[in-house]
């Protein structure tokens, strides 16, 4: 990879985007190139975090082994993405293993080299902070999603269980043939009346359920409700 190719990669990486030409050139100069064959790891979870990587081309899958031995896929990464930096900056071992889904080429900077770059080009440090902030924002959103999803799953599963036991087929779907209040559902699912009301209103708007406050619930789209109850 010649210098102009390295510059092209650095320029489109989020960490360097919009920074002055001399910063980009210095970063491209200080980078080494590493090629990872398909199926190979860039580094392993638990290794000492010593280098920053940016994907030049190819694709990585970030795998993490949980304490109970399960493997989870955290994310996929492609050209321009920064790999390993959070661990290097935090001075902790790499928390996951990036595996090459296809042959992948990366630009690599040692911890010391990146530190020199940041000291010589302070806007780069600002950019890094901005990126870390972006990651936190992403995680907060994901956390909120997971929390909401869990409540939705519980409510869906509870309605399905009741319908399975006592439901009857009606023209528009499966009816729960007795008054099941929002408060009952809140207590059964360990959530608040407000959350149950909001969730049911959403499902009624989507046509999954039918039922005004005073009448019996009808599951109009049982398949969809099962999907919600079983979503990961």
Q: How far is Cα 16 from Cα 219, in angstroms, rounded to an integer? A: 52
| Residue 189 in tokens | 């699912």
Q: How far is Cα 128 from Cα 12, in angstroms, rounded to an integer? A: 15
Query: To the nearest whole angstrom, how small is the minimum distance from the Cβ of residue 177 to other proteins?
Result: 13
Q: CB under 8 A: which stretch of 131-139, 180-188, 197-205, 220-228 binds other proteins? A: 220-228
160 belongs to the binding site for other proteins (CB under 8 A): yes
Short-list 71, 55, 61, 51, CA closest to 14: 55
Query: To the nearest whole angstrom, how small is the minimum distance from the Cβ of residue 222 to other proteins?
Result: 4
164 belongs to the binding site for other proteins (CB under 8 A): yes
Query: To the nearest whole angstrom, how small is the minimum distance from the Cβ of residue 92 to other proteins?
Result: 41
Q: CB under 8 A: which stretch of 103-111, 134-142, 144-152, 163-171 binds other proteins? A: 163-171
The count of C-alpha atoms lying within 13 angstroms of the C-alpha of 5, restricted to the half-sphere facing its C-beta, is 10
58 belongs to the binding site for other proteins (CB under 8 A): no
- Closest to other proteins by CB, 98 vs 173, is 173
Tell me the longest C-alpha to C-alpha distance in the chain: 73
Query: To the nearest whole angstrom, how small is the minimum distance from the Cβ of residue 159 to other proteins?
Result: 10
Q: How far is Cα 106 from Cα 58, in angstroms, rounded to an integer? A: 9
Query: To the nearest whole angstrom, how small is the minimum distance from the Cβ of residue 219 to other proteins?
Result: 8
- Closest to other proteins by CB, 188 vs 193, is 188
Radius of gyration of the chain, Cα coordinates, nearest whole angstrom:
25
Q: How far is Cα 56 from Cα 83, in angstroms, rounded to an integer? A: 11
- Closest to other proteins by CB, 13 vs 176, is 176
Give every CB contact of residue 115 below 8 A, 6+ residues apart in sequence.
none
Q: How far is Cα 27 from Cα 103, in angstroms, rounded to an integer? A: 23
Query: To the nearest whole angstrom, how small is the minimum distance from the Cβ of residue 214 to other proteins?
Result: 24
Q: CB under 8 A: which stretch of 42-50, 128-136, 182-190, 223-231 binds other proteins? A: 223-231
Binder among 4, 71, 223, 232 for other proteins (CB under 8 A): 223
109 CB neighbour count, 10 Å cutoff: 21
Give me the residues that bind other proteins (CB under 8 A), please.
Answer: 160-161, 163-164, 167, 169, 173-174, 219, 222-223, 225-226, 230
């Amino acid at each position: 990879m010649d210098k102009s190719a390295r510059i092209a990669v650095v320029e489109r990486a989020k960490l360097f985007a919009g920074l002055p030409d001399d910063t980009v050139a210095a970063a491209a100069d200080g980078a080494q190139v590493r090629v990872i064959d398909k199926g190979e790891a860039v580094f392993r979870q638990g290794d000492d975090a010593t280098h920053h990587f940016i994907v030049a081309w190819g694709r990585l899958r970030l795998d993490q082994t949980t304490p109970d031995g399960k493997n989870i896929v955290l994310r996929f990464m492609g050209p321009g993405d920064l790999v390993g930096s959070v661990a290097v900056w935090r001075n902790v071992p790499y928390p996951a293993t990036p595996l090459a889904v296809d042959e992948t080429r990366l630009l690599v900077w040692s911890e010391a080299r990146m530190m020199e770059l940041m000291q010589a080009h302070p806007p780069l440090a600002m950019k890094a902070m901005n990126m870390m902030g972006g990651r936190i924002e992403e995680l907060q959103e994901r956390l909120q999603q997971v929390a909401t999803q869990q409540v939705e799953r519980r409510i869906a599963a509870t309605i399905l269980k009741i319908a399975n036991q006592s439901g009857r087929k009606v023209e528009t779907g499966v009816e729960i043939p007795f008054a099941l209040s929002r408060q009952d559902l809140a207590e059964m699912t360990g959530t608040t009346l407000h959350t149950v009301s909001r969730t049911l209103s959403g499902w009624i708007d989507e046509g999954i359920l039918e039922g005004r406050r005073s009448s019996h619930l009808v599951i109009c789209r049982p398949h969809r409700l099962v999907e919600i109850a079983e979503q990961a």
